[in-house]
Amino acid sequence: MTAPVFVDTNVFVYARQANERSRQPIAAEWVERLWRDETGRTSMQVLSECYVTLTRKIKPALAREQAWEHLRGLLTWDPQPTDAELLMRAREIEDRYGLSWWDSLIVGAAELQDCALLLTEDLQDRAVYGGVTVRNPFSLRVAEGIATYGNAPRTVSRHPLRGRPRRAAALPA
């Protein structure tokens, strides 16, 4: 069985940007694979950011209806809601690792969905936060990511970690 993979905003945006010749095919391949395996996870925060980015920040912007149809389909991934449990988890992550509030919400949502892998460009590649490993989706091949992180066990500690996150040791480049 393959562990769930959390997808951040930039992957969804690049997957829809035809003018991003180098990143679009890679992002689209990630999203397609996660759809097929039914292992893709995300959050309401990510979907909100994605809609704003697709309709207002990229050039050329998508029509609102087109962006909405894309996001409506992603609702089947059962995105993590921004609720009290996520806010409490994000606060712990912010304190423990010194991440920004928004990044703490992303990592917290990935943890709450038991994701072994978090695909994003916005955090340090190979950083480990609890049981979640961050990988830049454009430096990790889809097949490699699924195989390497597919069955990673979730680590739960009764004691808070201190200091900065550890880099994963001996991971393939």
Range of 15's domain? 5-149
CATH of the domain at 10: 3.40.50.1010
In the chain, which ranges are continuous DSSP H helix?
9-16, 24-37, 44-52, 64-74, 84-97, 101-112, 142-149
Q: Which residues contact 159 (CB under 8 A, 6 or more apart)?
A: none
pLDDT at 141 (0 to 100): 81
- ∠172-20-53 over CA atoms, to 5°? 100
| Average pLDDT rounded to a whole number, residues 124-133 | 96
With contact defined as beta carbons under 8 Å apart, do 88 and 112 qualify?
no
* Intra-chain end-to-end CA distance of the chain, in Å: 24
In a domain, 123, yes or no: yes
Task: Using a pLDDT cut of 90, give the percent of the chain over it.
Answer: 76
How far apart, in Å, are the Cα atoms of 36 and each of 70, 80, 124, 160? 16, 20, 27, 36
In a domain, 156, yes or no: no
Residue 172: pLDDT band (50, 70, 90) is very low
Q: Among 110, 118, 122, 155, which residue's Cα sits nearest to residue 140? A: 118
Per-residue model confidence as pLDDT tens digits over 36-90: 999 999 999 999 999 999 999 999 999 999 999 999 999 999 999 999 999 999 9
Give the number of domains in the chain.
1
Which amino acid does the sequence have at 18? Answer: A
What pTM does this model have? 0.83
